[in-house]
Amino acid sequence: MKKPFDITPIATFSNRLATLLDTQRETIDTITKSQKDDYATILKPMQDLEEALELFFTPLSHLNSVMNSEETQIAYEACLPLLSKFSSELAQNETLFYKIKQIQSDDPQEKRVIEHTVRDFILSGITLPNKEKKRLEEISLSLSELSNTFSQNLLNATKAYKLTIEDPNDVKGMPDADIQTSKIEIDGKTHYRFTLQTPSYLAYMTYGPNRNYRKTLSKAYSTRAPQNAEVIDKILKLKEEKAKLIGFENYAQYALESRDASTQDEVLAFLYTLADSALPQAKKELETLKKYAKESDGIEDFAGYDISYYEEKLKKAKFDFDDTMTKPYFEQSRVLQGLFDVLFELFEVKFEPIQMETWHSCVKVFDIVENGEFAGRIYFDLEARPEKQGGAWMHNWETHFVDSAGMCHFPSAFVVCNFSPSTLTLPSLLRHDDVVTLFHEMGHAIHHLFGRCRERAISGINGVAWDVVEFPSQFLENFAYEESILRQFGFHYDNGEPLPQTLIQKIKETKNFNAALGILRQVEFSLFDFMLHQKLHQADEVQMLLDSIREKTALLKPPAYNKFQHGFSHIFAGGYAAGYYSYKWAEVLSADAFFACLDPHKGFDKTKAKEYKTFILSKGGSEEMKHLYYVWLGREPQVESLAKLYEIDLL
């Protein structure tokens, strides 16, 4: 029997994909030419094909992200044009489009699938003349290849850089776990190596005492992958052309067709309101940091690479707290089990460990059990390694749905993070920020895994508007600050002592420390992304736009060498183009929902939590989120909840 995630022989993967796609073409051709015109014989089997393709291709795309190698890169890149061509052919199948357009159904889920499918056909240019359709196909192929190039350039640059430190004084005062992880032997002498991988980079930027090394690391990080400048120009040009071909004034307008937000002005007004409201407090926060750096270390020229370091020092001085104090209490396995316990209390769902071969020895696999029955599977890959892309994400694999033969399929998903890896002497220990990240990604995962729609196209996270997809993830991460939750898994990895009350209080007190500066930074990213897609920007115009936005949002002027955009993979290699604002947009929902479910004594209101699972999570994309939310609470989300969450006057 073939092992799970065994995609060997990898050299022939693209050939096997081509065979699968040809088989699907034949099935689609049969469906298209059929005299039947009902949902069951057209859209039902089409969703079966989507699931089959996802099952086959996801292992390669996943391994290319978490076990990146020359072989996975070559195979992945060989598959992109095949998938792009297949997708374009399907999107331009006029006969199928008009066949679907006339399907009638009284079933709400089926009606939703029909509505989304017709919309997506139109957004793909189905009604355009053949010449324009051909051009759209070329654009789609180029965009998929460019996105992969952007991502690979960034990963290669991240893997290539190493900073080696000889003097132990230059790591003095850093968390012991970070020091141990960075230790290497060179000619029999201990050195300390830091990289641009997230745990290593953040460790030195946050705790590294040598300012010159922080500057060096910061410069290396913000100048990664300069070749992405050319990639960005090409991506922007193609997206602008695509939007205009289909009939939109720009890519931002095109993107909003399938979002919760209605207009470009609505998005910009929302972001400027956040910026204007956060600005006064952000200025005070920065001045406090500058003053502290000057008084404690004589820093006259406070810079961006000083922010994280002095935030930690000031936090420790002001609250007698830093993240290293809680790290021994958050051992990875125990935190994960604690998260499962929380989810059981919230939703009455169990996570049972299973043994199976995966892509790496640190991967943990769990079956989801609901009402005593198997309901899905989840894979956790939580530790950093050189061949893994940085950051954290959830990726859905299988989807809950009922296929055309009446068989029920169960969902599965991957949760990937880059936490400090275990060593011979230490288990993997998480900062509290890491705990929040794990809760966040698990929020995405349960949105998909708890989906219970019959139709694949709207089950789990499928069919959910992009600007509300962060709602469930942000909702769950808020619980990672609650005392009753932290007490379930906060125990010292060595002696088993519980997380002290004083540290729990510190976590709460420091939660919104410098919150306004953080809001401004997110608004900066969001404005840059959205305005970048409102008209065509090329070459220096990209930097000029970012600089103009920073006049309002960046209280510290970044150095001229800073090319943040070259690493902005969310919008150039992910799905957030003209949609990075979604994080804050969804946060209004998540904050309001959090307070609706919060019980200050028990951690959460079980009745409301179960309703949240029933009315929000299980419904997937079957209805507009605005409507689902209103059905759940009988009202619209209150933006004041966002202000309450941050303890800041945002509005």
Summarised one tens digit per residue, pLDDT across range 219-269 is 999 999 999 999 999 999 999 999 999 999 999 999 999 998 889 999 999
Mean pLDDT of the 174-197 span: 94
Q: Which amino acid is at 47?
A: Q
Distance of CA 248 to CAs 123, 133, 535, Å?
10, 15, 11
Q: Give the residue from 29, 20, 25, 26 showing the smallest Cα distance to 57.
A: 20
- Annotate 99-110 with DSSP letters as a single string: HHHT-----HHH
pLDDT computed for residue 636 by the predictor: 87
* C-alpha–C-alpha distance, residues 171 and 210, integer Å: 8
Domains and their CATH numbers in the chain = 10-127 (1.20.1050.40), 161-222 (no CATH)
Indicate the range of 14-18, 99-103, 270-274 predicted with least confidence. 270-274
Q: Give the residue from 97, 139, 150 showing the smallest Cα distance to 121.
A: 97
pLDDT computed for residue 602 by the predictor: 67
Distance of CA 234 to CAs 96, 324, 352, 562, 595, Å?
32, 43, 47, 21, 44
* C-alpha–C-alpha distance, residues 633 and 18, integer Å: 48
- Annotate 367-426 with DSSP letters as a single string: EEEETTEEEEEEEEEEE--TTS-SS-EEEE-S--EE-TTSPEE--EEEEEEEEPPP-SS-
Mean pLDDT of the 605-616 span: 94
Q: How many helices (H) and strands (E) does the chain have?
A: 26, 10
pLDDT computed for residue 1 by the predictor: 37
Task: Give yes or no for a contact between 487 and 517, defined as CB atoms under 8 angstroms apart.
Answer: no
Task: Give yes or no for a contact between 311 and 323, defined as CB atoms under 8 angstroms apart.
Answer: no
Indicate the range of 164-168, 302-306, 384-388 predicted with least confidence. 384-388
pLDDT band at 390 (very low <50, low <70, confident <90, very high): confident
* C-alpha–C-alpha distance, residues 123 and 125, integer Å: 5
To the nearest whole number, what is the mean pLDDT of the chain? 94
Residue 225's contacts (CB-CB under 8 Å, 6 or more residues apart) are 150, 153, 154, 156, 157, 566, 567
- 441 is a catalytic site residue: yes
pLDDT computed for residue 199 by the predictor: 86
- Annotate 494-554 with DSSP letters as a single string: TT-PBPPHHHHHHHHHHTTTTHHHHHHHHHHHHHHHHHHTTS---THHHHHHHHHHHHHH-
Task: Give yes or no for a contact between 102 and 40, defined as CB atoms under 8 angstroms apart.
Answer: no
Q: Residue 125 — left, alpha, or beta (φ > 0 → left; ψ -120 to 50 → alpha)?
A: left
**What pairing do the DSSP bridges indicate for beta strands 162-165 and 189-195?**
antiparallel
Q: Which amino acid is at 484?
A: S
Tokens (6 digits) for 317: 């001085």
Q: Give the residue from 235, 19, 37, 260 showing the smallest Cα distance to 146.
A: 235
Q: Which amino acid is at 494?
A: D
pLDDT band at 288 (very low <50, low <70, confident <90, very high): very high
pLDDT 10s digits, 361-372: 999 999 999 999
Q: Give the residue from 507, 508, 485, 489 showing the smallest Cα distance to 498.
A: 489
* C-alpha–C-alpha distance, residues 449 and 440, integer Å: 14
pLDDT 10s digits, 634-650: 998 887 788 789 887 65
pLDDT 10s digits, 66-109: 999 999 999 999 999 999 899 989 998 999 999 999 999 999 99
Q: Which amino acid is at 597?
A: C
Which of helix, strand or coil describes residue 365? strand
Choose the catalytic residue: 441, 455, 477, 524.
441
In degrees and rounded to multiples of 5, residue 364 shows phi and psi of -115, 135
